[in-house]
Amino acid sequence: MLILDEPLGNLDSLTRLTMQGEIVNLWRNAGFTTLLVTHEIEEALPMATRIVVLSERPAAVKADIRLDKPYPRHRGDPDLVAKRQEILGLLGFEAVW
């Protein structure tokens, strides 16, 4: 099992995109379980098969969202855009986007 806690937070945007792809490729090729903790919706959507949205403290599960899209995923995919909107709404940012 690979556990990653905000692993790409300090990278520039292009390196971050590259590393996201590398992590997905490693996971898909080796078949191990990966848990990625991130505050970045844009990072979770192209990488995850499941996104768990937590509430503010004390944390509780607000949503458990499954993503069945094939890889590689395009960030402009209408289904991913809809999921982004859903997640932002769960976090109280529906009016912003």
pTM for the predicted model, two decimal places: 0.86
- Looking at the domain that runs over 2-90, which CATH code has it been given? 3.40.50.300
* Overall average pLDDT of the 35-54 stretch: 94
Domain spans of the chain?
Answer: 2-90
What gap in Å lies between CA 2 and CA 27, rounded to an integer?
9
Tokens representing 74? Answer: 């395009």
Tokens of 87: 């997640």
pLDDT for residue 58 is more than 90: yes
What pLDDT is recorded for position 6? 94
Q: To the nearest whole number, what is the mean pLDDT of the chain?
A: 92
pLDDT of residue 96: 67
pLDDT at 50: 97
Residue 12 predicted with pLDDT over 70: yes
- Copy the structure tokens of residue 62: 């607000």
* The predicted structure's pLDDT at residue 97: 58
Closest by CA position to 24, among listed 91, 72, 75, 60 = 72
67 neighbors 50 (Cβ within 8 angstroms) = yes
Instruction: State residue 94's pLDDT score.
Output: 79
**Nearest-angstrom CA–CA distance, 21 and 41:** 15
- Nearest residue to 43 (alpha-carbon basis) of 69, 78, 18, 70: 18
